[in-house]
Structure 1
Amino acid sequence: MKKTYLCTGNEACAEGALRAGCRFYAGYPITPQNELIAYMSRHMRERGGVFIQAESELSAVNMVLGASIAGARAMTSSSGPGISLKQEAISYIAAGELPAVIVNIMRGGPGLGSISPSQSDYFQAVKGGGHGDYHLIVMAPATIQEMFDFTYRAFGLADKYRNPVMILADGMIGQMMEVLEYDEHIEPVPFVKKDWALTGAKNRSGHNIKTLILGKEGETLEEYNRKLQEKYKIIASAEIEAEEYLTSDAQKVIVAYGLMSRIARTCVDNLRKNGVKAGLIRPKKLWPFPSRIIKNISARGVKFLAVEMSAGQMVEDVRLSVCDDARVFFYGTQEEKR
């Protein structure tokens, strides 16, 4: 039976995780994601899971690392500065090929910045905020419904690829309220058998969870990294996801994600009413980035406008996709003057 609720994006994200089968959450309060941690504190125990408000962001993410090693579906959440503190452990999670979900409800930066919404953590999310050659799968919801849906799906992607998945949303989507609808009897994301998980059993052999590769066990770091890069190629080929709106005949295309894509869609409608053939590309996943989609459209000589709630970060990936800087423009908190 479908049920509808009026809730915040943070609450929708938390419920999506619980419905997906998340049974371990560790976090630390920070605005603007506190509704998420509060929701988990109220509901995790009644779902048979474990909730921990850790003493710091570092502790929280390392608890998630340990829970994932043990085979649990685990999640943590934070915002800007807190996500920065988690980066070393996120790099370890990626290196250990561990499934986990990390939620970043973005606030302004750099530094402590402000508690106002922002999209300035794009580079941190899609380029790998920690050390080493690794990638997160990065999902960018634009509605409260997608906060639920994308978080629910994130656990399946994390298990499928044994890779951390990040939900990247801004503080406005995290705290605004909209109608959420889902099936009250929705089943958890199907569980994948985790033969690699460490269960504490004695005399267990064959485990392959490691983040320190010294070459003493027959595999060099170069060989290990090569294996990881092959996995990332598979993900980059299979997991591109973007919405195209009125792009088939568009001469000018806006590229925007999250909250900005909602504003951009209204702009496209208004431009169409005034005779301008405009369209919108909305990346639903920021990594892998929908470069092929943008490149195919750019072959028609289309001009692009990247719109971001930042000084300009995603615009660099748009430029790389188009391969013609003269046809890519930017509008954001520090718009270009051309």
Structure 2
Amino acid sequence: MRQLIKGNEAVIYGALLGGATHFFGYPITPASEIAHAAASLFPEAGRHFLQAESEVSAINMIYGAAGSGARVMTASSGPGISLMAEGISYIAGAELPCVIVNVQRAGPGLGNIFPEQGDYNAVVKGGGHGPYRNVVLAPDSVQEMCDFTSRAFDIADRYRTTVFVLSDAYIGQMMEPVSLPETVQHGQRKPWALYADHDSRRNLITSIYMSPAAQAGHNWQLQEKYDRIRSEITDWEEIQAEDAEFLFVGFGISARVSLTAVQLLRKRGVRAGLLRPKTLFPFPAARLAQLAAGGVRKIGVVELNEGQMAEDVELAVRCSIPVLRYNWMGGEVPTTTELAELAIEELKRPDSPQEPVTSRNHRHGHGDMLYGKV
């Protein structure tokens, strides 16, 4: 089946077809359509929807339902995700599978409702207390909003982990044709969950370990799981990267703008390419290192933040080639022409592998002040 829908609505179609059984959440712009669609479609499909009184309540409902074996999800934007941070850490510590969608908006604080990617560090590096990681999927289309959400439930159950679908206001609000999966996936009984029956009565779900040795052992087991995740599900897309001398790296809307810039540069005879991480954790560091050791002269990391993913790119290439930071914030988005001109200007400069240059491009704007709660 093919439908023209918003990215936020595609999340719910993907969730239902991926076997989601429960949605707990609280609406927030620019993610509100996810809760609205869930309120309609989950009950129609015989699943369960509940609007919590707050994001704090929603994430704790996720904890309880996940512990009872349900396939659970929530969705929010930056301010709401911040409120969920403690609960997410508890869920990660208890190794409970769940799916969380974050449609990013500008911050910090209340910020505004326009697109930004400033939640990268908070989501990719953890977000709450303790040494844990989230699997993070980064869609760049409405189709992937559907597909990645559906896939997220399988990953969550397979590794007993939190899985984020990290989007932005552009991808969440745009409308595109989507091909929906023809079959519905269903979760299986989980041997570790609490079903209030004889077979599960001895199961224990907790994130508290009262001895240093027990806590250390648990944390090392978590790290072993994250290493296994790195080796098994790292994913990315390459476009004309094999012969590229200038490589863009971006995710979400930044990747889409970068792709059009690549096409424009190729028409002008510039060998440009794009690497788009589909998983932000695990990050495709090894592939970036390979490209840096090949013919790529310079990398331009395009982000709607101050350069958060650029730090991971710099670590991946280990200062072997220059990594340029092209950053916009506050809800501003670069044009394809701007990116193409930045790449051309940079390629005119001599290569200096021993002393890579890290530069920033800030596009300043003056928007209207927005008052009131959104």
- TM-score range for the pair, normalised by the shorter chain length: over 0.9
Contact 1:160 1:192 in 2 (8 A): no
Code of the residue aligned with 2:360 in structure 1: it is E
CA distance in 1, matches of 2:233, 2:188: 19
Evaluate the alpha carbon distance shift between residue 249 and residue 325 of structure 1 in structure 2; reply closer, same or farther with a 3 A threshold: closer
Contact 2:243 2:295 in 1 (8 A): no
Contact 2:325 2:361 in 1 (8 A): no
Code of the residue aligned with 1:298 in structure 2: it is A
Larger mean Cα displacement after TM superposition, 9-18 or 40-49: 40-49
Provide the residue aligned with 1:299 in structure 2: 293
Deviation per CA, 1:249-279, whole angstroms, max 9, x where unpaired?
1111000111111110111111111111111
Contact 2:293 2:320 in 1 (8 A): no
Code of the residue aligned with 1:212 in structure 2: it is I
CA distance in 2, matches of 1:256, 1:203: 47
Contact 1:159 1:192 in 2 (8 A): no
Contact 1:31 1:79 in 2 (8 A): yes
Q: Which runs of 5+ in 2 are unaligned?
A: 330-358, 363-374
Code of the residue aligned with 1:223 in structure 2: it is G
Contact 1:139 1:168 in 2 (8 A): yes
User: CA shift at 1:43, angstroms?
Assistant: 1.2
Provide the residue aligned with 1:129 in structure 2: 127
TM-score (norm 1): 0.95
Provide the residue aligned with 2:207 in structure 1: 211
User: CA shift at 1:325, angstroms?
Assistant: 7.2
Provide the residue aligned with 2:251 in structure 1: 257
Evaluate the alpha carbon distance shift between residue 331 and residue 193 of structure 1 in structure 2; reply closer, same or farther with a 3 A threshold: same
Q: Percent identity?
A: 46
Answering whether residue 53 of structure 2 is matched by residue 55 of structure 1, we say yes
Provide the residue aligned with 2:226 in structure 1: 232
- Where does 1:66-81 land on structure 2 (aligned, <5 Å)? 66-81=64-79
User: CA shift at 1:115, angstroms?
Assistant: 0.4
SS at match of 1:220: helix
CA distance in 2, matches of 1:249, 1:193: 48
Code of the residue aligned with 1:320 in structure 2: it is L
Larger mean Cα displacement after TM superposition, 160-169 or 193-202: 193-202
Equivalent position to 2:305, from 297, 303, 310? 310
Contact 1:253 1:304 in 2 (8 A): yes
CA distance in 2, matches of 1:12, 1:325: 40
Answering whether residue 38 of structure 2 is matched by residue 40 of structure 1, we say yes
User: CA shift at 1:50, angstroms?
Assistant: 1.3
Deviation per CA, 1:30-75, whole angstroms, max 9, x where unpaired?
1001111000001111211111111000000100110000000000
Equivalent position to 1:336, from 360, 364, 373? 360
Code of the residue aligned with 2:233 in structure 1: it is E
RMSD, matched Cα: 1.7
Code of the residue aligned with 2:78 in structure 1: it is G
Provide the residue aligned with 2:145 in structure 1: 147
TM-score (norm 2): 0.86
